[in-house]
A and B are shown apart, each in its own frame.
Chain A
Amino acid sequence: MDSEKILRIEAQCIAEHSPACVTVCPFHIDVKAFLDEIRKGNLDRAYKQLEKKIPMVNVLCRICDHPCSKACLKSDFGGAINLSMLERTVVNTVTAPKKDINQSSNGFRAAVAGAGISGLCAAVELLKKGFEVHLFEKEEQIGGRLLNIDKNILPHQVLKEELEYVEKNISKVSKGVLVDDVMIKELHSSYDAVFVAFGDAVKSGYENVFYGGIVENIDKDSIIQSAAAGRSGAVTVDRYLKGISLTAMRENEGSYETKLIVNTEKVISENVVMNEKEDYVYTKEEAAQEAARCIRCECNECNRVCVHLRRYKMTIKKYLRQINHNERLVLGNHFANIMINSCTLCGLCQEVCPVSLNLKEMVQESRESMVARKKMPPRAHDFALRDMEYNNSEEFKMTKNEPGFEKSSYVFFPGCQMAASEPKYVEEVYQYLRDNLKGGTGMMFGCCGAPASWAGRTELFNINMEKLKKELEVMGNPKLILGCSTCYDIFKKNLEGVEIVSIWEIFEKYGLPEGAAEKCKGKIVALHDACTSRHHDKLQQSARAVINMLGIEIQELEFSGDRTKCCGYGGLTLYADKSMAKEFIKERISESELDYAAYCFMCRDLFKGEGKKIYHILDFIYGENMDEQATKKGPTISERQHKRKLLKNRMLNNVWGEKMDFKEGEEYKLKLSDEVTAKLEDRLILLKEIVEVVRHAEESGRKFINPENGHILSSLSQHHITYWVEYNTADEGYFIHNAYSHRMEITEE
């Protein structure tokens, strides 16, 4: 798998980018953490968040021009978070003793010309980096612009204390000294570096004299930008003397635009909290209220919609890192296997991702790579692949032209699950198609290849597709009519030049069978689109049109159409991790109180299995006893195969007058309790596998016996799995008490 491709996609994820308020603040205060502390009433801790990032915190936090407010997304929802008032409230309330800047010397001496905001901040930053700092100011007082600020906003005492603190820490301050060209020349030779912190300076051209750091074109009136320019100048000086690039990796040092995109669909509008009595500060309670208005900007769209990502606590970015790690891991456990195999490959995350990251494709590639490297756990998909093999075996596979036709204009491909869940509908739909379509409508049973694709078995998938193509060619390349949205998706993407329609388009065009529209007229349902119908607009629209023709009203779910969710079967999740599939099912069925309608039998059966009342569109058309139809459990894995076989046999008889060489299995001789049946379903054990164990035990005599109850226990290895069955003989058959399996083989007894 292409590691660079993974990393390239991973780098596009915006989830780990900071909110706009943080990036636009040149000091990058952690605004979320700051507001969290205020919300919790911890003003001391909120103060620490400010102090961590802002020099001369008691001054700057009172007079900052707050570019963060302009960037705040809450601006459109009652007003930006009032960070100005909040910061002032915090620095006004908290009196934290100031510790002296006590950094061990780095051996360098720097001169800073100008003791305004920028110069002071540069000096503080240089001190923190261990410089000996000499500060020059042309006036008799340091502070520059700070001295002229309204005392209601910046009380004299606060400013005085902060300036005294800076002055106390700086190695040497020279007041009343104008730094002109002559002076610069002198400073440049007697100091390791010089930072000129007044805006109108003419650049000297000396290598070790710096002007305004890297911050160019800043708003010179902005207090906070001036402060940042000073800090940035100090960084430049430091880099220069350490011989580090003056520009590398500094793009995000000052204000920058975030790449974070936030979904504001559900943000509620609420007004900025005001203080009736004071203009500049909040009470502690008001501050908490105002802080609580913050929407905590983040991109969590993929998690919001996907229960799988939430279970593993993954953003797409983290997920891709796991895939990459799993790919490259040579020794040790591939812990991500189970995660990668229990993604439904439904693609919803890409739909909601603001930058459309295609995780599905990467998971698919990762599975293919696991197969290619022989690292795919056999357990994950082998049941589905054996089921696929069954569907392509003589017991189900069938390709027929309509009786009386040598070629076909159309061919009906109902899909394996319609044949398994409601074989009767297959016969009904086929009759309907023959009645309505001219030119011969053939019939095709078999597998579309979806399980192979989901399992990462590219080769198997391609072989299957080539066989299908050949069969279609022999039939005269008929138009394909599909009963399943997964087959539809697979064929649309892999059968070039073949015309593909869903049965819903046919019903829409030729009308409903007689009487169908009367059954459920007036009913209101929530429609669950199959995840494989995503981006197949025509399919989704036709399904809706047919429901409407039936006189049934659709209430759209929040996640429908291109944003529909998976039922938990997609990607073979049901087989790789049943508990994951159940989480998908449970979340999806709780999204509306209404009865659901679906047009995939797997979705229908899985939802019914968890107690949701749901109808397939064909239930509306051909179903009987509608209430029972919407609640009764779907067939077991054994029944599914059995029903397919019976269907083929019946249709060969009834439509083509042919006799299939039909061998009824011995499964009917087995008697099982519901409990054991459920166990088999859970353990993916087929009755025909049990029959083989019992037959082998009875023929060979290799069995254990429990003398207390007469039960027999025996085992047999079939397709690399050892099946154990506990049974006893009953009238003309066997009573099955238990069955289990394992994959380890006993090589020596």
Chain B
Amino acid sequence: MSAEFYDSKTKWRCGKCGAELQAGKVNLTYLEGNFEVELLKCPSCGMVLITEDLAVGKMLEVEKSLEDK
């Protein structure tokens, strides 16, 4: 997963802080996998956005490959 997997033109804003989301480093883990990726998140509270496209696309692919390791 790399930076290109988030949509920089997202309409979502942080509901708590009202801030526009910005790309930032996020740690993702699953089974024995650990990744640092860039995802959109709230610059103020750090809440991370995972879009449907990412969840059922690239992320699912990585999950499945980790499951088969």
Contacts and interface: CB of A to CB of B under 8 A. Distances in A.
Interface stretch (A194-202, A532-540, A608-616, A700-708): A700-708
A211 B27 CA distance: 78
Contacts of A741: 55
Contacts of B55: 724, 740-742
Contacts of A403: none
Interface in B29-69: 29-30, 34, 41, 46-50, 52, 55-56, 59-60, 62-65, 67-69
Given A713-B12, A744-B59, 13 more contacts: A335-B68, A378-B67, A379-B67, A702-B16, A704-B14, A706-B11, A706-B12, A714-B15, A738-B52, A742-B56, A744-B63, A746-B27, A749-B48
Nearest to A326: B68
A379 B28 contact: no
Interface size class of B (residues with CB under 8 A): 20 to 34
Contacts of B15: 701-705, 712, 714
B3 interface: no
A741 B54 CA distance: 10
A704 B68 CA distance: 33
Pairs A-B, 6 closest by C-beta atoms: A377-B67, A749-B46, A704-B12, A703-B15, A748-B27, A705-B15
Question: Which of A377, A701, A741, A742 has the most chain B CB within a 10 Å cutoff?
Answer: A742
Given A713-B12, A742-B60, A746-B27, A704 B67 contact: no
Interface in A364-383: 377-379
Interface string A338-350: 1000000000000
Contacts of A333: 65, 68-69
23 contacts: A332-B69, A333-B69, A334-B69, A337-B67, A703-B16, A704-B21, A705-B14, A707-B13, A712-B15, A724-B50, A740-B52, A742-B55, A742-B56, A742-B59, A742-B63, A744-B30, A745-B30, A746-B28, A747-B27, A747-B28, A749-B46, A749-B47, A749-B48
Contacts of B50: 715, 722, 724, 742, 746
Interface string A710-744: 00111100000010100000000000001011111
Contact of A743 (B27, B52, B63): B63
Nearest to B36: A748
Contacts of A338: 68
Contacts of B47: 702, 704, 749
Given A701-B16, A705-B13, A749 B63 contact: no
Contacts of B62: 744
A334 B68 CA distance: 5
A456 to B, nearest CB: 15
A745 B11 contact: no
A721 to B, nearest CB: 11
A332 B68 CA distance: 8
Nearest to B46: A749
B67 to A, nearest CB: 4
Contacts of B13: 704-707
Contacts of A702: 15-16, 47
Nearest to B49: A704
Contacts of A712: 15
A335 B65 CA distance: 9
Given A744-B29, A745-B28, A749-B46, A708 B11 contact: yes
Contacts of B34: 747
Contacts of A378: 67
Nearest to B65: A333
Nearest to A739: B52
A280 B44 CA distance: 94
Contacts of A704: 12-15, 21, 47, 49
A747 B8 CA distance: 22
Given A743-B63, A746-B48, A377 B26 contact: no
Contacts of A701: 15-16
Contacts of B65: 333
Nearest to A334: B68
